[in-house]
Amino acid sequence: MSVPLNNKTTEGKNRATSLDLARGVMLLLIALAHAPLYLYNSEPGIMQRAAGINFFDQIVNLFGMFFIDNRARAMFAVLFGYGLVLSFKSQISKGKTEKDTLKTIRRRSWYLILFGILLAIFIGGQDILMAYGLAGLLVSWLLTREIKTLIRTFSIVTLFYCLFTPIIWGFNMQKIGSYGFAPDVSATDTYLHTTMVTLIYFPTIPIMIHFLFPILPSVLAGMWIARYQLLTKPEQHVRTLYFIIFVGLTVSLLGALPLSLLGSVWHPGFFTAGLLSGLHMLTGIAGGLAYAAIFGIIGARLKKPGHISYSFIALGKRSLTFFVWNEAMIVLFLSPVALDLGGHVSNGIAAMIAVAIWIFSVVLATLLEKNNLNGPLEILLRRLVYKKK
């Protein structure tokens, strides 16, 4: 999910097809990534995954390590960066000055942070809106700079994360003394308690996310490919997109392989395991780019959406609304402050719950699309950002 935009941009239909398809499917990946975080009665597995208790659980965990964990987040960041460039171009095409356009984009970023605060405190969901709102504030200055400056910044930032992310996670896992992390929730949690704790610590959430996870390189990569319109005019860049897919998926899968062996066929020290976790996160950048490129190819080939793609596009158009909705539903079903299924199911069942929540979102979004209704949070954000002065 990138910053929600009006789909009637100057880029035309292909933009809506590729990006909205990507956003719709991305919401499924995010739901699958967040569901295991509420399984407080399960033994920790690898990183944030709960240990599997049967073959189906193990398959779900392996699939998550190779295709979801640290890849869905990277895809989110790529689409977010791409959306920043689209928003900038759209406003400039309407006659706004660069100064006013940057103010608008930064105002949107501040409101994303506000939405993220409300999500984290009052709903208790796993927020990423604050982190991406902060990213928008940090990188928006590059929208008015030449492509060389963007590439140079991407190179420096990515090099920084490549050097320090594995080391940070090496020491982190050495301190924890385990290959996996226990969930932050427990059976004794109450809504009042979790709300008060989050109210105190929410300012640190986006800072810690950016410190621990390489989000900015993916955002900058999204801005980079947006300058060449790889996803909005994919038919002009098919060879480039296939190259990104091949290299990106190869790097992503190879980067996930060592982590998948931990605790089963390989038992290295905790510092080494942390290094491998950092490698998993860094190679996820390539995976996120590859996922975005896949939807660029689909957008180039999809001349007329069928029923399924129509529904996915409808969901992608309302990605902000349904990201928050999905998080609320995951909390409702799995959190100990609500229905508390997270204390009674394994990660395989939790994944099935996440899929069911996403399918219900697809149905709701399709109904909204057929009635020509936008998502309520998209409407609210647009009114707040573009309010009359």
pLDDT score of 349 more than 90: yes
Q: Which residues lie closer than 8 Å to 333 by C-beta, 6 or more apart?
A: 339, 341, 342, 353, 357
pLDDT score of 15 more than 60: no
- For 74-87, the pLDDT digits (tens) are 999 999 999 999 99
Distance of CA 33 to the CA centre of its chain: 9
Residues 38 and 335 sit within 8 Å (Cβ to Cβ): yes
The SS3 assignment for 50 reads strand
pLDDT score of 10 more than 70: no
pLDDT score of 16 more than 90: no
Q: What mean pLDDT do residues 323-331 have?
A: 97
Give phi and psi for 145, each to the nearest 5.
-100, 165
Q: What mean pLDDT do residues 126-140 have?
A: 96
pLDDT of residue 128: 92
- For 143-161, the pLDDT digits (tens) are 999 999 999 999 999 999 9
Burial of 61 from C-beta contacts in 10 A (0-12 / 13-18 / 19+): buried
Calpha distance 82→266 (Å, rounded): 39
pLDDT of residue 4: 38
- Which amino acid, one-letter code, is at 13? K
Q: DSSP of 189-242, one letter per residue?
A: --HHHHHHHHHHHTTHHHHHHHHHS-HHHHHHHHHHHHHTTTTTSGGG-HHHHH
Calpha distance 91→76 (Å, rounded): 22
Average pLDDT, the chain: 92
- For 156-215, the pLDDT digits (tens) are 999 999 999 999 999 999 999 999 988 889 999 999 999 999 999 999 999 999 999 999
- For 287-318, the pLDDT digits (tens) are 999 999 999 999 888 878 889 999 999 999 99
Calpha distance 87→334 (Å, rounded): 36
The SS3 assignment for 44 reads strand
Domain locations in the chain as residue ranges: 13-385
pLDDT score of 329 more than 50: yes
